[in-house]
Chain A
Amino acid sequence: MKLDTSGLESFSTLTAPGDDVVGEFSAPPSFQLPNSNDFDGFVKEAIQMVKPAKGTTTLAFIFKDGVIVAADSRASMGGYIYSVKKIIEINPYMLGTMAGGAADCQFWHRNLGIKCRLHELANKRRISVTGASKLLANILYSYRGMGLSVGTMIAGWDETGPSLYYVDSEGGRLKGTRFSVGSGSPYAYGVLDNGYRYDLSVEEAVELGRRAIYHATFRDGASGGVVSVYHVGPEGWKKWTGDDVGDLHYQYYPVVPSTVEQEMVEATGA
Protein backbone atom coordinates (compact mmCIF):
# COMPACT_ATOMS: atom_id res chain seq x y z
CA MET A 1 0.00 0.00 0.00
CA LYS A 2 1.40 3.37 -0.93
CA LEU A 3 2.09 5.57 2.05
CA ASP A 4 -0.12 8.60 2.27
CA THR A 5 2.34 11.35 3.09
CA SER A 6 0.01 14.20 2.19
CA GLY A 7 -0.10 15.20 5.83
CA LEU A 8 3.60 15.94 5.70
CA GLU A 9 3.64 17.73 2.36
CA SER A 10 5.31 21.09 2.42
CA PHE A 11 3.74 23.36 -0.14
CA SER A 12 7.09 24.90 -1.05
CA THR A 13 7.91 21.86 -3.22
CA LEU A 14 5.00 22.75 -5.50
CA THR A 15 6.27 26.25 -6.19
CA ALA A 16 9.97 25.36 -6.53
CA PRO A 17 11.51 26.45 -9.83
CA GLY A 18 11.49 23.66 -12.41
CA ASP A 19 14.58 21.88 -13.59
CA ASP A 20 15.94 22.22 -17.09
CA VAL A 21 13.93 19.18 -18.22
CA VAL A 22 10.27 20.14 -18.40
CA GLY A 23 7.98 17.68 -16.70
CA GLU A 24 10.50 16.40 -14.21
CA PHE A 25 8.95 16.11 -10.77
CA SER A 26 10.80 16.97 -7.61
CA ALA A 27 11.45 14.16 -5.15
CA PRO A 28 8.27 12.88 -3.43
CA PRO A 29 7.70 14.18 0.07
CA SER A 30 9.07 11.88 2.74
CA PHE A 31 10.21 12.00 6.31
CA GLN A 32 13.62 11.01 7.58
CA LEU A 33 13.98 7.64 9.19
CA PRO A 34 15.93 7.61 12.46
CA ASN A 35 19.56 6.51 12.28
CA SER A 36 19.57 3.18 13.99
CA ASN A 37 21.05 -0.22 13.30
CA ASP A 38 17.98 -2.07 14.37
CA PHE A 39 15.03 -0.22 12.86
CA ASP A 40 12.55 -3.02 13.62
CA GLY A 41 13.57 -3.01 17.27
CA PHE A 42 13.26 0.75 17.36
CA VAL A 43 9.74 0.60 15.97
CA LYS A 44 8.81 -2.15 18.46
CA GLU A 45 10.08 -0.02 21.32
CA ALA A 46 8.17 2.98 20.07
CA ILE A 47 4.97 0.96 19.94
CA GLN A 48 5.54 -0.36 23.47
CA MET A 49 6.12 3.15 24.75
CA VAL A 50 2.78 4.31 23.47
CA LYS A 51 0.81 1.19 24.43
CA PRO A 52 -0.17 2.16 28.00
CA ALA A 53 -1.39 5.46 26.61
CA LYS A 54 -4.75 3.99 25.74
CA GLY A 55 -5.46 4.47 29.41
CA THR A 56 -8.58 6.48 29.10
CA THR A 57 -12.33 6.21 28.82
CA THR A 58 -14.18 7.85 25.99
CA LEU A 59 -17.66 7.14 24.75
CA ALA A 60 -20.16 8.38 22.23
CA PHE A 61 -23.70 7.42 21.33
CA ILE A 62 -26.43 8.50 18.93
CA PHE A 63 -29.92 9.25 20.15
CA LYS A 64 -32.91 11.06 18.74
CA ASP A 65 -31.52 14.57 19.27
CA GLY A 66 -28.00 13.96 17.99
CA VAL A 67 -24.77 12.55 19.38
CA ILE A 68 -23.40 12.68 22.89
CA VAL A 69 -19.62 12.55 23.22
CA ALA A 70 -18.05 12.10 26.65
CA ALA A 71 -14.52 11.54 27.91
CA ASP A 72 -12.35 11.60 31.01
CA SER A 73 -9.22 13.69 31.11
CA ARG A 74 -6.50 11.55 32.69
CA ALA A 75 -3.20 11.12 30.89
CA SER A 76 -0.39 9.29 32.64
CA MET A 77 3.25 8.95 31.72
CA GLY A 78 5.11 6.66 34.09
CA GLY A 79 4.34 8.01 37.52
CA TYR A 80 3.03 11.39 36.46
CA ILE A 81 -0.64 12.17 35.99
CA TYR A 82 -1.84 15.01 33.78
CA SER A 83 -5.15 16.34 32.69
CA VAL A 84 -5.67 16.47 28.96
CA LYS A 85 -8.46 17.60 26.68
CA LYS A 86 -9.61 14.42 25.00
CA ILE A 87 -12.44 15.71 22.88
CA ILE A 88 -11.05 17.41 19.82
CA GLU A 89 -13.09 19.91 17.88
CA ILE A 90 -12.42 19.06 14.25
CA ASN A 91 -14.83 21.68 12.97
CA PRO A 92 -17.99 23.31 14.33
CA TYR A 93 -20.16 20.27 13.58
CA MET A 94 -17.73 17.37 14.07
CA LEU A 95 -15.93 16.08 17.12
CA GLY A 96 -13.18 13.54 17.57
CA THR A 97 -12.18 11.69 20.72
CA MET A 98 -8.68 10.89 21.78
CA ALA A 99 -7.46 7.54 23.01
CA GLY A 100 -3.92 6.30 22.54
CA GLY A 101 -1.01 8.56 21.76
CA ALA A 102 -1.96 12.17 22.50
CA ALA A 103 0.34 13.58 19.85
CA ASP A 104 -0.89 11.11 17.24
CA CYS A 105 -4.52 11.91 17.96
CA GLN A 106 -4.05 15.67 18.07
CA PHE A 107 -1.94 15.83 14.93
CA TRP A 108 -4.10 13.59 12.79
CA HIS A 109 -7.34 15.15 13.97
CA ARG A 110 -5.97 18.58 13.13
CA ASN A 111 -4.85 17.21 9.76
CA LEU A 112 -8.35 15.80 9.24
CA GLY A 113 -9.81 19.22 10.03
CA ILE A 114 -7.61 20.74 7.33
CA LYS A 115 -8.70 18.13 4.80
CA CYS A 116 -12.36 18.68 5.69
CA ARG A 117 -12.01 22.43 5.20
CA LEU A 118 -10.26 21.91 1.86
CA HIS A 119 -13.12 19.62 0.82
CA GLU A 120 -15.61 22.34 1.72
CA LEU A 121 -13.76 24.92 -0.29
CA ALA A 122 -13.32 22.63 -3.28
CA ASN A 123 -16.85 21.23 -3.35
CA LYS A 124 -18.87 24.13 -1.88
CA ARG A 125 -20.49 21.82 0.63
CA ARG A 126 -19.61 20.34 3.97
CA ILE A 127 -17.98 16.96 4.06
CA SER A 128 -20.09 14.13 5.45
CA VAL A 129 -19.04 12.29 8.61
CA THR A 130 -18.73 9.15 6.46
CA GLY A 131 -16.26 10.93 4.21
CA ALA A 132 -14.27 12.46 7.04
CA SER A 133 -13.94 9.15 8.88
CA LYS A 134 -12.92 7.37 5.66
CA LEU A 135 -10.22 10.02 5.05
CA LEU A 136 -8.83 9.43 8.52
CA ALA A 137 -9.10 5.65 8.27
CA ASN A 138 -7.22 5.58 4.98
CA ILE A 139 -4.41 7.72 6.37
CA LEU A 140 -4.10 5.58 9.49
CA TYR A 141 -4.20 2.41 7.37
CA SER A 142 -1.27 3.56 5.28
CA TYR A 143 0.79 3.94 8.49
CA ARG A 144 -0.14 0.51 9.77
CA GLY A 145 2.57 -1.29 11.72
CA MET A 146 4.58 1.92 12.18
CA GLY A 147 3.64 2.55 15.77
CA LEU A 148 0.79 5.03 15.55
CA SER A 149 -1.61 4.59 18.43
CA VAL A 150 -4.99 6.11 17.74
CA GLY A 151 -8.38 4.91 18.94
CA THR A 152 -10.84 7.58 18.01
CA MET A 153 -14.49 8.18 17.38
CA ILE A 154 -15.66 10.70 14.81
CA ALA A 155 -19.06 12.09 15.70
CA GLY A 156 -20.99 14.69 13.77
CA TRP A 157 -24.21 15.87 12.29
CA ASP A 158 -24.39 16.03 8.51
CA GLU A 159 -27.12 15.99 5.84
CA THR A 160 -28.07 12.42 6.70
CA GLY A 161 -28.49 13.25 10.37
CA PRO A 162 -26.28 12.25 13.31
CA SER A 163 -23.41 9.87 12.55
CA LEU A 164 -20.82 8.07 14.60
CA TYR A 165 -17.75 6.19 13.41
CA TYR A 166 -15.02 4.37 15.32
CA VAL A 167 -11.58 4.56 13.66
CA ASP A 168 -8.36 3.06 14.98
CA SER A 169 -4.72 2.88 14.08
CA GLU A 170 -4.98 -0.78 13.07
CA GLY A 171 -7.05 0.44 10.15
CA GLY A 172 -10.46 -0.55 11.47
CA ARG A 173 -13.45 1.67 10.80
CA LEU A 174 -16.90 0.87 12.13
CA LYS A 175 -20.17 2.69 11.79
CA GLY A 176 -22.38 2.39 14.83
CA THR A 177 -24.75 3.90 17.35
CA ARG A 178 -22.79 3.34 20.58
CA PHE A 179 -19.05 3.08 21.12
CA SER A 180 -16.66 3.30 24.00
CA VAL A 181 -12.89 3.30 23.61
CA GLY A 182 -10.04 2.98 26.07
CA SER A 183 -8.95 0.95 29.05
CA GLY A 184 -12.10 1.91 30.97
CA SER A 185 -14.44 1.16 28.10
CA PRO A 186 -15.83 -2.18 29.38
CA TYR A 187 -16.94 -0.44 32.56
CA ALA A 188 -18.51 2.40 30.64
CA TYR A 189 -20.26 0.01 28.24
CA GLY A 190 -22.07 -1.65 31.12
CA VAL A 191 -23.64 1.56 32.39
CA LEU A 192 -24.19 2.92 28.90
CA ASP A 193 -25.89 -0.16 27.44
CA ASN A 194 -28.16 -0.47 30.42
CA GLY A 195 -29.33 3.14 30.53
CA TYR A 196 -29.59 3.69 26.78
CA ARG A 197 -32.84 4.45 25.00
CA TYR A 198 -33.11 6.07 21.60
CA ASP A 199 -35.66 8.61 22.80
CA LEU A 200 -33.66 10.11 25.67
CA SER A 201 -33.94 13.85 26.13
CA VAL A 202 -30.76 15.88 25.77
CA GLU A 203 -30.45 16.36 29.54
CA GLU A 204 -30.96 12.65 30.21
CA ALA A 205 -28.46 11.70 27.51
CA VAL A 206 -25.83 14.09 28.88
CA GLU A 207 -26.37 12.62 32.32
CA LEU A 208 -26.04 9.06 30.97
CA GLY A 209 -22.73 9.93 29.31
CA ARG A 210 -21.46 11.57 32.46
CA ARG A 211 -22.52 8.69 34.69
CA ALA A 212 -20.97 6.07 32.43
CA ILE A 213 -17.61 7.88 32.39
CA TYR A 214 -17.76 8.39 36.14
CA HIS A 215 -18.27 4.67 36.76
CA ALA A 216 -15.39 3.84 34.46
CA THR A 217 -13.08 6.26 36.25
CA PHE A 218 -14.11 4.72 39.55
CA ARG A 219 -12.95 1.26 38.56
CA ASP A 220 -10.19 1.93 36.04
CA GLY A 221 -6.96 3.30 37.45
CA ALA A 222 -5.91 4.80 34.17
CA SER A 223 -9.00 6.99 33.87
CA GLY A 224 -9.97 9.96 35.97
CA GLY A 225 -9.81 13.70 36.23
CA VAL A 226 -12.61 15.68 34.69
CA VAL A 227 -15.58 14.34 32.74
CA SER A 228 -16.36 16.40 29.64
CA VAL A 229 -19.64 15.86 27.85
CA TYR A 230 -20.44 17.41 24.48
CA HIS A 231 -23.67 17.28 22.51
CA VAL A 232 -23.69 17.46 18.72
CA GLY A 233 -26.96 18.73 17.37
CA PRO A 234 -28.12 19.94 13.97
CA GLU A 235 -26.51 23.33 14.61
CA GLY A 236 -23.17 21.89 15.68
CA TRP A 237 -21.53 20.81 18.91
CA LYS A 238 -21.95 22.37 22.33
CA LYS A 239 -20.06 21.55 25.51
CA TRP A 240 -22.40 20.66 28.30
CA THR A 241 -20.46 19.63 31.40
CA GLY A 242 -16.97 19.45 32.81
CA ASP A 243 -17.14 17.92 36.27
CA ASP A 244 -14.38 16.56 38.42
CA VAL A 245 -14.98 12.88 39.12
CA GLY A 246 -14.17 13.32 42.79
CA ASP A 247 -17.01 15.81 43.14
CA LEU A 248 -19.27 13.54 41.10
CA HIS A 249 -18.57 10.64 43.42
CA TYR A 250 -19.87 12.47 46.49
CA GLN A 251 -22.74 13.86 44.45
CA TYR A 252 -23.90 10.39 43.44
CA TYR A 253 -22.98 8.65 46.68
CA PRO A 254 -23.11 11.23 49.46
CA VAL A 255 -21.54 10.26 52.75
CA VAL A 256 -24.24 9.06 55.11
CA PRO A 257 -23.26 9.09 58.76
CA SER A 258 -23.85 5.50 59.78
CA THR A 259 -25.35 4.56 63.10
CA VAL A 260 -22.95 3.01 65.53
CA GLU A 261 -23.88 -0.60 66.11
CA GLN A 262 -21.65 -1.39 68.96
CA GLU A 263 -20.00 1.17 71.08
CA MET A 264 -16.88 0.42 72.98
CA VAL A 265 -17.11 1.38 76.60
CA GLU A 266 -14.47 1.27 79.20
CA ALA A 267 -14.41 -1.98 81.05
CA THR A 268 -15.67 -1.48 84.58
CA GLY A 269 -13.71 -3.24 87.21
CA ALA A 270 -10.77 -5.54 86.72
Chain B
Amino acid sequence: MNSPTSHFVPPRRMGVYDPIHQISMWEENFRSNVSLSASTLLIDDAEIKFDNQSEYASHGIPGTSKQYDQEANRLADKIQRRLAQNREAARKSRLRKKAYVQQLESCRVKLMQLEQEVDHAKQQGLHIGGTGLGSNSLGFAASLNSGIANFEMEYGRWLEERNRHTLALRNALSSHMGDVELGELVDGTMNHYFKLFGMKSAAAKADAFYVMSGMWKSSAERFFFWIGGFRPSEILKILVPRIETMTEQQRSDISNLGKSCQQAEDALSQGMDKLQQMVSESVAAGQLEEQTNTPNMSTAMERLAALVSFVNQADHLRQETLLQMSRILTKRQAARWLLALGEYFQRLQALSSFWANRPSKPAECLIP
Protein backbone atom coordinates (compact mmCIF):
# COMPACT_ATOMS: atom_id res chain seq x y z
CA MET B 1 0.00 0.00 0.00
CA ASN B 2 2.73 2.38 0.91
CA SER B 3 5.26 1.69 -1.81
CA PRO B 4 4.72 3.93 -4.79
CA THR B 5 6.65 1.66 -7.12
CA SER B 6 4.21 -1.16 -6.72
CA HIS B 7 1.72 0.92 -8.68
CA PHE B 8 4.06 1.08 -11.63
CA VAL B 9 3.57 -1.89 -13.92
CA PRO B 10 4.73 -1.66 -17.52
CA PRO B 11 1.67 -2.24 -19.72
CA ARG B 12 3.77 -4.20 -22.22
CA ARG B 13 7.35 -5.25 -22.85
CA MET B 14 9.41 -2.36 -24.02
CA GLY B 15 11.60 -3.23 -27.02
CA VAL B 16 14.37 -1.04 -28.35
CA TYR B 17 12.76 -0.43 -31.67
CA ASP B 18 10.43 2.33 -30.65
CA PRO B 19 12.52 4.89 -28.82
CA ILE B 20 10.10 7.82 -29.22
CA HIS B 21 7.19 5.88 -27.78
CA GLN B 22 9.41 4.48 -25.08
CA ILE B 23 10.47 7.92 -24.00
CA SER B 24 6.92 9.19 -23.68
CA MET B 25 6.07 6.13 -21.63
CA TRP B 26 9.06 6.70 -19.36
CA GLU B 27 8.04 10.31 -19.04
CA GLU B 28 4.53 9.42 -18.04
CA ASN B 29 5.69 6.89 -15.52
CA PHE B 30 8.29 9.28 -14.19
CA ARG B 31 5.71 11.95 -13.62
CA SER B 32 3.02 9.66 -12.30
CA ASN B 33 5.37 8.02 -9.88
CA VAL B 34 6.64 11.31 -8.59
CA SER B 35 3.08 12.39 -7.91
CA LEU B 36 2.31 8.99 -6.40
CA SER B 37 5.24 9.32 -4.06
CA ALA B 38 4.11 12.77 -3.07
CA SER B 39 0.55 11.70 -2.46
CA THR B 40 1.67 8.65 -0.52
CA LEU B 41 3.74 10.87 1.73
CA LEU B 42 0.74 13.07 2.34
CA ILE B 43 -1.38 10.06 3.12
CA ASP B 44 1.29 8.82 5.45
CA ASP B 45 1.41 12.14 7.24
CA ALA B 46 -2.33 12.13 7.63
CA GLU B 47 -2.18 8.58 8.88
CA ILE B 48 0.35 9.48 11.53
CA LYS B 49 -1.86 12.33 12.73
CA PHE B 50 -4.92 10.13 12.69
CA ASP B 51 -3.06 7.38 14.52
CA ASN B 52 -1.96 9.81 17.14
CA GLN B 53 -5.48 11.06 17.63
CA SER B 54 -6.97 7.57 17.74
CA GLU B 55 -4.32 6.46 20.17
CA TYR B 56 -5.21 9.28 22.45
CA ALA B 57 -8.93 8.76 21.98
CA SER B 58 -9.02 5.00 22.58
CA HIS B 59 -6.82 4.97 25.59
CA GLY B 60 -8.40 7.96 27.20
CA ILE B 61 -5.93 9.00 29.83
CA PRO B 62 -2.74 10.55 28.41
CA GLY B 63 0.37 10.68 30.53
CA THR B 64 0.59 7.00 31.63
CA SER B 65 4.26 6.17 30.99
CA LYS B 66 3.76 2.68 29.56
CA GLN B 67 1.11 3.83 27.10
CA TYR B 68 3.23 6.79 26.25
CA ASP B 69 6.22 4.54 25.52
CA GLN B 70 4.19 2.23 23.34
CA GLU B 71 2.81 5.14 21.40
CA ALA B 72 6.21 6.68 21.06
CA ASN B 73 7.62 3.40 19.78
CA ARG B 74 4.83 2.88 17.30
CA LEU B 75 5.23 6.42 16.14
CA ALA B 76 8.99 6.05 15.86
CA ASP B 77 8.52 2.83 13.88
CA LYS B 78 6.10 4.47 11.57
CA ILE B 79 8.40 7.37 11.04
CA GLN B 80 11.29 5.02 10.35
CA ARG B 81 9.20 3.08 7.88
CA ARG B 82 8.11 6.23 6.13
CA LEU B 83 11.69 7.50 5.92
CA ALA B 84 12.90 4.20 4.54
CA GLN B 85 10.12 4.18 1.97
CA ASN B 86 10.94 7.73 1.00
CA ARG B 87 14.57 6.82 0.50
CA GLU B 88 13.54 3.85 -1.57
CA ALA B 89 11.18 5.93 -3.65
CA ALA B 90 13.80 8.60 -4.18
CA ARG B 91 16.38 6.01 -5.20
CA LYS B 92 14.05 4.42 -7.72
CA SER B 93 13.11 7.84 -8.99
CA ARG B 94 16.74 8.65 -9.60
CA LEU B 95 17.22 5.38 -11.48
CA ARG B 96 14.26 6.06 -13.70
CA LYS B 97 15.51 9.54 -14.40
CA LYS B 98 18.90 8.16 -15.37
CA ALA B 99 17.33 5.67 -17.75
CA TYR B 100 15.18 8.44 -19.25
CA VAL B 101 18.19 10.66 -19.86
CA GLN B 102 20.07 7.78 -21.50
CA GLN B 103 17.15 7.22 -23.86
CA LEU B 104 17.24 10.90 -24.77
CA GLU B 105 20.97 10.74 -25.45
CA SER B 106 20.73 7.78 -27.78
CA CYS B 107 17.86 9.39 -29.67
CA ARG B 108 19.91 12.53 -30.03
CA VAL B 109 22.79 10.59 -31.54
CA LYS B 110 20.46 8.84 -33.94
CA LEU B 111 18.96 12.17 -34.96
CA MET B 112 22.39 13.62 -35.65
CA GLN B 113 23.28 10.64 -37.80
CA LEU B 114 20.07 10.97 -39.78
CA GLU B 115 20.70 14.67 -40.30
CA GLN B 116 24.18 13.91 -41.57
CA GLU B 117 22.82 11.35 -43.99
CA VAL B 118 20.29 13.82 -45.29
CA ASP B 119 22.95 16.50 -45.72
CA HIS B 120 25.20 14.07 -47.49
CA ALA B 121 22.46 12.97 -49.84
CA LYS B 122 21.45 16.59 -50.47
CA GLN B 123 25.06 17.34 -51.32
CA GLN B 124 24.83 14.70 -53.97
CA GLY B 125 22.00 16.73 -55.40
CA LEU B 126 19.59 13.85 -54.92
CA HIS B 127 15.94 14.26 -54.17
CA ILE B 128 14.96 13.14 -50.68
CA GLY B 129 11.57 11.57 -51.12
CA GLY B 130 9.02 10.70 -48.49
CA THR B 131 10.15 7.08 -48.59
CA GLY B 132 13.54 8.07 -47.20
CA LEU B 133 17.10 7.73 -48.35
CA GLY B 134 16.78 4.18 -49.54
CA SER B 135 14.80 5.20 -52.59
CA ASN B 136 17.65 6.91 -54.41
CA SER B 137 20.47 5.26 -56.31
CA LEU B 138 23.10 6.27 -53.77
CA GLY B 139 21.53 4.17 -51.05
CA PHE B 140 20.74 1.45 -53.54
CA ALA B 141 24.31 1.05 -54.74
CA ALA B 142 25.71 1.17 -51.24
CA SER B 143 23.43 -1.50 -49.92
CA LEU B 144 24.42 -3.94 -52.66
CA ASN B 145 28.15 -3.94 -52.13
CA SER B 146 30.05 -3.79 -48.88
CA GLY B 147 33.17 -2.50 -50.67
CA ILE B 148 31.15 0.41 -51.98
CA ALA B 149 29.37 1.03 -48.69
CA ASN B 150 32.78 1.13 -47.07
CA PHE B 151 34.05 3.56 -49.67
CA GLU B 152 31.11 5.91 -49.18
CA MET B 153 31.68 6.02 -45.44
CA GLU B 154 35.38 6.61 -45.89
CA TYR B 155 34.74 9.25 -48.52
CA GLY B 156 32.52 11.16 -46.11
CA ARG B 157 35.37 11.23 -43.61
CA TRP B 158 37.85 12.06 -46.37
CA LEU B 159 35.76 15.09 -47.36
CA GLU B 160 35.72 16.41 -43.80
CA GLU B 161 39.47 16.02 -43.57
CA ARG B 162 39.90 17.76 -46.93
CA ASN B 163 37.83 20.68 -45.69
CA ARG B 164 40.00 20.85 -42.57
CA HIS B 165 43.13 20.96 -44.74
CA THR B 166 41.62 23.75 -46.83
CA LEU B 167 40.82 25.77 -43.74
CA ALA B 168 44.30 25.18 -42.35
CA LEU B 169 45.86 26.37 -45.61
CA ARG B 170 43.74 29.52 -45.62
CA ASN B 171 44.73 30.32 -42.05
CA ALA B 172 48.38 29.51 -42.68
CA LEU B 173 48.57 31.84 -45.67
CA SER B 174 46.80 34.74 -43.99
CA SER B 175 48.88 34.38 -40.84
CA HIS B 176 52.17 34.28 -42.80
CA MET B 177 53.23 30.91 -41.46
CA GLY B 178 56.88 29.95 -41.85
CA ASP B 179 58.02 28.04 -44.92
CA VAL B 180 58.97 24.82 -43.16
CA GLU B 181 55.65 24.50 -41.38
CA LEU B 182 53.81 25.52 -44.54
CA GLY B 183 55.73 22.88 -46.45
CA GLU B 184 54.52 20.21 -44.04
CA LEU B 185 50.95 21.39 -44.48
CA VAL B 186 51.31 21.24 -48.25
CA ASP B 187 52.76 17.72 -48.11
CA GLY B 188 49.97 16.62 -45.79
CA THR B 189 47.32 18.00 -48.15
CA MET B 190 48.88 16.29 -51.16
CA ASN B 191 49.16 12.97 -49.34
CA HIS B 192 45.53 13.28 -48.47
CA TYR B 193 44.64 13.46 -52.17
CA PHE B 194 46.84 10.44 -52.83
CA LYS B 195 44.97 8.60 -50.12
CA LEU B 196 41.75 9.16 -52.03
CA PHE B 197 43.28 7.59 -55.14
CA GLY B 198 44.06 4.50 -53.10
CA MET B 199 40.51 4.36 -51.78
CA LYS B 200 39.14 4.71 -55.30
CA SER B 201 41.33 1.91 -56.52
CA ALA B 202 39.90 -0.44 -53.92
CA ALA B 203 36.38 0.73 -54.71
CA ALA B 204 36.98 0.20 -58.44
CA LYS B 205 37.89 -3.41 -57.73
CA ALA B 206 34.59 -3.77 -55.90
CA ASP B 207 32.57 -2.00 -58.61
CA ALA B 208 34.29 -0.03 -61.35
CA PHE B 209 30.96 1.12 -62.81
CA TYR B 210 30.16 2.79 -59.52
CA VAL B 211 33.41 4.76 -59.41
CA MET B 212 32.98 5.72 -63.06
CA SER B 213 29.41 6.88 -62.45
CA GLY B 214 30.54 9.54 -60.00
CA MET B 215 27.45 8.92 -57.88
CA TRP B 216 29.60 9.43 -54.82
CA LYS B 217 30.28 13.02 -55.86
CA SER B 218 28.01 16.06 -55.88
CA SER B 219 26.04 16.70 -59.07
CA ALA B 220 28.08 19.73 -60.19
CA GLU B 221 31.33 17.80 -59.77
CA ARG B 222 29.80 15.02 -61.82
CA PHE B 223 29.13 17.48 -64.60
CA PHE B 224 32.89 17.88 -65.06
CA PHE B 225 33.67 14.22 -64.53
CA TRP B 226 36.32 12.47 -66.59
CA ILE B 227 37.16 8.79 -65.98
CA GLY B 228 36.31 8.69 -62.32
CA GLY B 229 37.40 12.17 -61.24
CA PHE B 230 38.54 15.63 -62.17
CA ARG B 231 40.31 16.39 -65.44
CA PRO B 232 43.90 17.44 -64.60
CA SER B 233 44.32 19.86 -67.51
CA GLU B 234 41.09 21.67 -66.56
CA ILE B 235 42.24 22.09 -62.98
CA LEU B 236 45.49 23.56 -64.16
CA LYS B 237 43.79 25.99 -66.52
CA ILE B 238 41.36 27.27 -63.93
CA LEU B 239 43.53 27.46 -60.88
CA VAL B 240 46.96 28.51 -62.11
CA PRO B 241 45.85 32.15 -62.48
CA ARG B 242 45.25 32.09 -58.70
CA ILE B 243 49.00 31.89 -58.10
CA GLU B 244 50.12 35.46 -58.31
CA THR B 245 53.84 35.74 -58.83
CA MET B 246 55.62 33.18 -60.99
CA THR B 247 58.95 33.22 -62.76
CA GLU B 248 59.17 32.86 -66.51
CA GLN B 249 60.61 29.39 -66.06
CA GLN B 250 57.68 28.42 -63.90
CA ARG B 251 55.15 29.71 -66.38
CA SER B 252 56.84 27.79 -69.13
CA ASP B 253 57.01 24.61 -67.04
CA ILE B 254 53.35 24.84 -66.15
CA SER B 255 52.42 25.44 -69.75
CA ASN B 256 54.32 22.28 -70.72
CA LEU B 257 52.65 20.38 -67.90
CA GLY B 258 49.27 21.46 -69.22
CA LYS B 259 50.14 20.22 -72.69
CA SER B 260 51.41 16.88 -71.37
CA CYS B 261 48.25 16.43 -69.33
CA GLN B 262 46.13 17.13 -72.36
CA GLN B 263 48.06 14.56 -74.42
CA ALA B 264 47.83 11.91 -71.72
CA GLU B 265 44.12 12.60 -71.26
CA ASP B 266 43.51 12.29 -74.99
CA ALA B 267 45.30 8.95 -75.08
CA LEU B 268 43.24 7.65 -72.17
CA SER B 269 40.03 8.97 -73.69
CA GLN B 270 40.78 7.20 -76.93
CA GLY B 271 41.47 4.03 -74.99
CA MET B 272 38.06 4.41 -73.32
CA ASP B 273 36.40 4.87 -76.70
CA LYS B 274 37.99 1.66 -77.87
CA LEU B 275 36.81 -0.15 -74.74
CA GLN B 276 33.27 1.10 -75.26
CA GLN B 277 33.37 -0.05 -78.85
CA MET B 278 34.61 -3.49 -77.88
CA VAL B 279 32.06 -3.99 -75.12
CA SER B 280 29.28 -2.77 -77.36
CA GLU B 281 30.37 -5.19 -80.08
CA SER B 282 30.50 -8.15 -77.75
CA VAL B 283 27.06 -7.34 -76.36
CA ALA B 284 25.56 -6.98 -79.84
CA ALA B 285 27.36 -10.01 -81.36
CA GLY B 286 25.19 -12.83 -82.60
CA GLN B 287 21.45 -12.56 -82.96
CA LEU B 288 20.10 -9.83 -80.74
CA GLU B 289 16.93 -11.82 -80.10
CA GLU B 290 18.84 -14.54 -78.33
CA GLN B 291 18.81 -15.09 -74.60
CA THR B 292 21.15 -13.14 -72.36
CA ASN B 293 23.18 -16.14 -71.27
CA THR B 294 25.17 -16.38 -74.49
CA PRO B 295 28.99 -16.58 -74.39
CA ASN B 296 29.07 -12.95 -75.51
CA MET B 297 28.26 -11.85 -71.98
CA SER B 298 31.46 -13.41 -70.70
CA THR B 299 33.44 -11.66 -73.41
CA ALA B 300 31.85 -8.37 -72.50
CA MET B 301 32.59 -9.03 -68.84
CA GLU B 302 36.23 -9.83 -69.58
CA ARG B 303 36.60 -6.65 -71.55
CA LEU B 304 34.93 -4.60 -68.85
CA ALA B 305 37.59 -5.79 -66.41
CA ALA B 306 39.82 -3.21 -68.09
CA LEU B 307 37.65 -0.49 -66.54
CA VAL B 308 39.52 -0.89 -63.26
CA SER B 309 42.78 -0.18 -65.10
CA PHE B 310 41.33 2.98 -66.59
CA VAL B 311 40.27 4.31 -63.21
CA ASN B 312 43.74 3.52 -61.87
CA GLN B 313 45.52 5.12 -64.82
CA ALA B 314 43.39 8.26 -64.64
CA ASP B 315 44.11 8.60 -60.91
CA HIS B 316 47.77 7.92 -61.61
CA LEU B 317 47.69 10.83 -64.04
CA ARG B 318 46.04 13.05 -61.41
CA GLN B 319 48.67 12.05 -58.89
CA GLU B 320 51.58 12.73 -61.25
CA THR B 321 50.10 16.11 -62.14
CA LEU B 322 49.87 17.09 -58.48
CA LEU B 323 53.44 15.91 -57.92
CA GLN B 324 54.77 17.81 -60.89
CA MET B 325 53.02 20.99 -59.73
CA SER B 326 54.66 20.61 -56.34
CA ARG B 327 58.04 20.30 -58.08
CA ILE B 328 57.52 23.42 -60.17
CA LEU B 329 56.10 25.65 -57.44
CA THR B 330 57.56 26.95 -54.20
CA LYS B 331 55.91 25.76 -51.01
CA ARG B 332 54.03 29.01 -50.63
CA GLN B 333 52.79 28.94 -54.21
CA ALA B 334 51.81 25.29 -53.81
CA ALA B 335 49.87 26.21 -50.67
CA ARG B 336 47.97 28.86 -52.60
CA TRP B 337 47.26 26.45 -55.41
CA LEU B 338 46.04 23.66 -53.11
CA LEU B 339 43.87 26.15 -51.25
CA ALA B 340 42.34 27.20 -54.56
CA LEU B 341 41.80 23.54 -55.44
CA GLY B 342 40.02 22.78 -52.17
CA GLU B 343 37.86 25.89 -52.46
CA TYR B 344 36.98 25.11 -56.04
CA PHE B 345 35.59 21.70 -55.09
CA GLN B 346 33.77 23.17 -52.11
CA ARG B 347 32.11 25.71 -54.41
CA LEU B 348 31.10 22.97 -56.83
CA GLN B 349 29.44 21.20 -53.92
CA ALA B 350 27.70 24.41 -52.92
CA LEU B 351 26.52 24.79 -56.52
CA SER B 352 25.07 21.30 -56.32
CA SER B 353 23.10 22.31 -53.22
CA PHE B 354 21.76 25.43 -54.91
CA TRP B 355 20.82 23.32 -57.86
CA ALA B 356 19.02 20.79 -55.71
CA ASN B 357 17.02 23.55 -54.01
CA ARG B 358 16.20 25.55 -57.09
CA PRO B 359 12.56 26.67 -57.52
CA SER B 360 10.53 24.20 -59.55
CA LYS B 361 8.39 26.66 -61.52
CA PRO B 362 10.13 27.75 -64.73
CA ALA B 363 8.78 31.29 -64.37
CA GLU B 364 10.87 31.74 -61.26
CA CYS B 365 14.16 30.90 -62.89
CA LEU B 366 17.19 32.48 -61.29
CA ILE B 367 18.39 35.62 -63.02
CA PRO B 368 22.18 35.73 -62.86
User: Are A and B part of the same complex?
Assistant: no
Interface residues of B (CB under 8 A from A): none
